Amino acid sequence: MKKEKNKEKEEIIIELKDVWKTYNMGEVQVHALRGINLKVRKGEFLAIMGPSGSGKSTAMNMIGCLDIPTKGDIYLSRKNIAHLEESDLAQIRGKKIGFIFQKFNLLNTLTAKENIMLPMRFQDTPRGEIEKKAEELLTMVDLGDRMNHQANEMSGGQQQRVAIARSLANDPEVVLADEPTGNLDSTTGEKVLDFLKKLHSEKGTTVVMVTHDKRVAEQADRIEYLMDGQITKIRR
């Protein structure tokens, strides 16, 4: 029994313990998160679902080391990151977490390949390795023939696939996808979801996806429902 408990603990890659996030709006306090407890296991595909204003984007910021909680603890690979300095959080983000944003966040002045090379440059990866890895990732998302096109010369679906490839540039332990199909038509959105599922099933990547769309959320192994900054139910 003890051995099983230790194994379970080892498999938890992210854990939020009684996490609160409060914003002071003049004399009013807004509680975006109200004591959230959440565990993400290594290799899991988790969806965090809720309507606008439910706190799901704030939860994503906590998991992704983009913000720190007002109170509570956040563990990433057993290390408490809840109160680290921004410079330390930036290092963790660069090495352990890949981001896929709803608005893609690509640089239009760079080619698809250059956009993917950028995060590797920040980690001092050798130039030759950077270029080879970027080309491999673009081929993986079926954009090998578009690698020298600038971002603004590509469709929304192609840009989102570049964003997926970029999120994998530094071999992150966790990929965070914030409304990854939100700006796409249904057909293109299905293709993007297929890539995320393939990433999870074939490479064993831990994927955490934020969405308000029930159909999208149901692609995950587990759904955590957020309402008014609290987890209201869990569905497996």
CA angle 118, 114, 65 (to 5 degrees): 30
Tell me the C-alpha distance between 190 and 79, whole Å.
35
Q: How far apart are CA 66 and CA 101, in angstroms?
A: 13
pTM (2 d.p.): 0.85
Q: Specify the higher pLDDT residue, 188 or 107.
A: 107
- Is 46 a residue whose pLDDT tops 50? yes
To the nearest whole percent, how much of the chain has pLDDT over 90? Answer: 56
- The pLDDT of residue 207: 95
Q: Are 224 and 38 in contact (CB under 8 A)?
A: yes
Q: Which residues pair with 20 in a beta bridge?
A: 34, 71
Domains and CATH numbers, the chain: 2-235 (3.40.50.300)
Task: pLDDT band for 131, please (50, 70, 90 cuts).
Answer: very high
CA dihedral 63, 170, 47, 154 (to 10 degrees): 120
Give the pLDDT band (50/70/90) at residue 10: low
Sign of the torsion angle spanned by Cα atoms 172, 177, 181, 183: negative
Q: pLDDT per residue over 151-161, tens digit each? A: 999 999 899 89
> In degrees, to the nearest 5, what angle opens at C-alpha 113 toward C-alphas 109 and 116?
90
Estimate the crossing angle of helix 112-122 against helix 127-140, to 10 degrees: 130
The mean pLDDT of 203-208, rounded to a whole number, is: 91
pLDDT of residue 218: 92
pLDDT tens-digit readout, 59-91: 999 999 888 899 999 998 888 988 888 888 888
pLDDT score of 109: 92
Residue 116 pairs in a beta bridge with none
